[in-house]
Amino acid sequence: MAEFRHLFSPLQIGSFTVRNRIVSTPHHTLFTDDDGLPGAREIAYWVSKARGGIGLVESHVHGIHWSIGDTFAQPAAVTKFRNATEAIHAEGAKFVGQLWHPGAQGNAAIRSPWAPSPVSQPDSWAVPHEMTVAETREVIGGYARGAAVLREAGVDGAEIHGAHGYLITQFLSPLSNKREDEYGGDFERRMTFALEIIDAIRNEVGRDWTVGMRISGDEMTEGGYTSDDFVRMIPFLTADGQLDYLSVSVGTYRSKDTVIAPSYYPNGAFVYLSALAKEVLDIPVFCIGRINDPVMAEQILEDRQADMVGMTRANICDPELPRKAREGRLDEIRHCIGCNEGCWGHVETLRPINCAFNPSVGREEYWGDIRQTASPKRVVVAGGGPAGCEAARVAAAAGHSVTLFEAGEELGGQTLTAARAPGRSDWGEIGRYFSAELRRLGVDVRVGSRAQAGDILALKPDHVIVATGGTPRVPDGIEGIELPHVVQAWEVLNGRAVAGDRVLVLDDEHHIQAASAAEYLASQGKQVVIVTREFQIGPNMEPNTRMATLRRLDGAGVAVSATTWVRSIAPGSAVLYHFYSEQDREESFDAVVMACGIIPETALSRQLTESGLQVRSVGDCAGPGRLEMATFQGHLAAREIDGDVPRDRPLVSMPIRRG
């Protein structure tokens, strides 16, 4: 059993002590009440982390000034922050609130955003208003007032958000600060805004209450500040003991795929930045960077690269990770795969967060724990992809007798194929986790056994959950689509050889499959062209994943032709046409790869229904979807066996599509 001598040791952070070194760093949830303050849903989410054994919970960003909405001016601010603090304390964790101003990244639809200089930022179309000296000092006062409210509410400390390209970063960065007054012009004057914020907060709350700062150790953007500049900043920021800790993050909205890194980035990718601070500081240093394994977290601490380990998405995916690690139950941990679909992907589309791998996340307030059944039933699940596995897990955890059929030799379904794509190996965690959990829960798992209606009927089940997935779609209206050199992306990723040197990939799935197949083929030295009807490939990808994907495709030499489709295919060539110019062109291709979506497999469900069984279809066989929908449907179907699904709030909000 792994030993965690460092990870589960206490640490003094200014005025408070945490029970262990795991921190859930600030992140948007979109669970707040209408006044922007923590309500029952958000508190339940934070409490689940505290109950799972984490050391420190940090809030999401809270605005400190009327120019972006002043959370701390709301009448209920003290009461609601106190409610959150007391609930988190009751479970043994500490709580820190975050103070924030987005600057030029504010909502330009409401008013012109404020910034140090009129330099526009990603995700905001407006050239910002250049703050006057008086306005700058007014905003500084807002940080101090916010900290005072948090202290009055009994919150354990305040964190100044100086990272990710928000207002403080904009003052620190030569890319966005073009001023020539006391707040800009050279390195030291660009530091003034941040230093005056720290001083103002200390003058307001004193020295006996914890104040920390989050900062990007490198903007990862051409023209921005670098890790060398960050090392120069550290002694200024931490002079005279003004800060009790430094939380080292990375990136801005120009390099957003580093801020919330998708699975392409290696685990612990940015810990080296916290290590730079740790070399020169004697206050606690926090790190981040796709740290989803407690064994890795322990090694970071042992190597003195940080004092607190940010395991934010890891703790979203499995709020009980700390307790499981401490108790030696490592196989039971549901490790984050870095898909970003339910967490940051929801924030980008203004939906409350959840987890694509763990559908209970965000529903803590009204789902609660899985309820033990009073009348165990015989349940059969057909299909061992994410939907079927989650259904089997929940049904077994409730006390039902469960048998699961899976045609393949492993659990995981399409995630096994996804894991074979370059940079996507973390998707193999889904099959690993479910294999371990179903074994632990006593599910009768029959791999290599395709579910047949007769086999299921012979078991005399009370409930059947069908999760048979689907088959790759072949698009209509393309002459020559049936030729032997036209293959599916699934086949390519599963190892089928593609002849020739020049390959055309059809993206009609609008997610990541076409890009994955294209990168896989490019890694074999092939020339690859992707065509899509859309304005860009993969418009339905989570934006950080898409940013990283486009970087990789460009680096691999993959050509992308948007608003273009294929009219006909012949041996050695294809005729493409552009939607707007209405021009055709013929190009040479040795092979064509289709990534065009899924056709649901419904035959088994129909047969069982006609036999009189109670059947629920989930996952792709109920309609093509992503991992998030598959696990949600599987979880819900199992809970509904006993009617264990409160209906007092909507369970799924509709996505908002962004191009």
Instruction: Convert the pLDDT of each residue in 152-177 to its tens digit.
Output: 999 999 999 999 999 999 999 999 99
Neighbouring C-beta atoms of residue 116, cutoff 10 Å: 26
For residue 348, tell me if it sits in a domain: no
Each residue's pLDDT tens digit, 520-537: 999 999 999 999 999 999
pLDDT higher than 60, residue 256:
yes
Indicate whether 415 and 321 sit together in one domain: no
pLDDT higher than 50, residue 415:
yes
The reported pLDDT for the residue numbered 655 is 38
For residue 19, tell me if it sits in a domain: no
For residue 52, tell me if it sits in a domain: no
Query: How distant, in Å, are the alpha carbons of 292, 316, 435, 638 from that of 334?
Result: 9, 10, 11, 19
Q: Which two tokens stand for residue 129?
A: 């208003």
* Local confidence band at 1 (pLDDT 50, 70, 90 cut-offs): low
Strand-pairing partners, residue 142, are none
Indicate whether 124 and 219 sit together in one domain: yes
The reported pLDDT for the residue numbered 107 is 78
Indicate whether 485 and 454 sit together in one domain: no
> What's the CATH code of the domain at 489?
3.50.50.60
Mean pLDDT, rounded, for 354-376:
93
Structure-derived torsion over alpha carbons of residues 167, 170, 176, 180, reported in degrees to the nearest 10: 100
Mean pLDDT, rounded, for 181-199:
97
pLDDT higher than 90, residue 368:
no
* Local confidence band at 646 (pLDDT 50, 70, 90 cut-offs): low
Question: CB–CB of 120/165 below 8 Å?
Answer: no
For residue 644, tell me if it sits in a domain: no
Mean pLDDT, rounded, for 221-242:
97
The reported pLDDT for the residue numbered 121 is 84
If one counts the domains in the chain, the total is: 4
Question: CB–CB of 154/86 below 8 Å?
Answer: yes
Catalytic residue among 166, 183, 245, 265: 166
Each residue's pLDDT tens digit, 49-71: 999 999 999 999 999 999 999 99
Indicate whether 170 and 305 sit together in one domain: no
Each residue's pLDDT tens digit, 487-511: 999 999 999 989 899 999 999 999 9
**Domain boundary residue among 544, 575, 596?**
596
For residue 94, tell me if it sits in a domain: yes
pTM of the model: 0.94
Indicate whether 454 and 588 sit together in one domain: no
What's at 137, amino acid-wise? R
> What's the CATH code of the domain at 416?
3.40.50.720
* Inter-helix orientation angle 227-237/271-278, to 10°: 40
Element (H, E) at 98: strand 94-100
Active site residue 166: yes
Indicate whether 502 and 529 sit together in one domain: yes
Mean pLDDT, rounded, for 181-191:
97
Domain that holds residue 539: 474-596
Residue whose tokens read 């994410």: 386
For residue 607, tell me if it sits in a domain: yes
Indicate whether 389 and 442 sit together in one domain: yes
Each residue's pLDDT tens digit, 568-584: 999 999 999 998 998 99
For residue 311, tell me if it sits in a domain: yes
pLDDT higher than 70, residue 653:
no
Indicate whether 289 and 242 sit together in one domain: no
The reported pLDDT for the residue numbered 309 is 98
How far separated are the first and last CA of the chain, in Å rounded?
47
Residue whose tokens read 């941990």: 333
* Local confidence band at 106 (pLDDT 50, 70, 90 cut-offs): confident
> Could you tell me which of 86, 14, 25 has the C-alpha nearest to residue 55?
25
Each residue's pLDDT tens digit, 3-28: 899 999 999 999 999 999 999 999 99
Mean pLDDT, rounded, for 424-449:
98
Indicate whether 453 and 514 sit together in one domain: no
Indicate whether 521 and 406 sit together in one domain: no
Indicate whether 71 and 220 sit together in one domain: yes
pLDDT higher than 90, residue 614:
no
For residue 15, tell me if it sits in a domain: no
> What's the CATH code of the domain at 157?
3.20.20.70
pLDDT higher than 90, residue 657:
no
Indicate whether 190 and 229 sit together in one domain: yes
* Local confidence band at 645 (pLDDT 50, 70, 90 cut-offs): low
Burial (CB count within 10 angstroms: exposed 0-12, middle 13-18, buried 19+), residue 229: middle
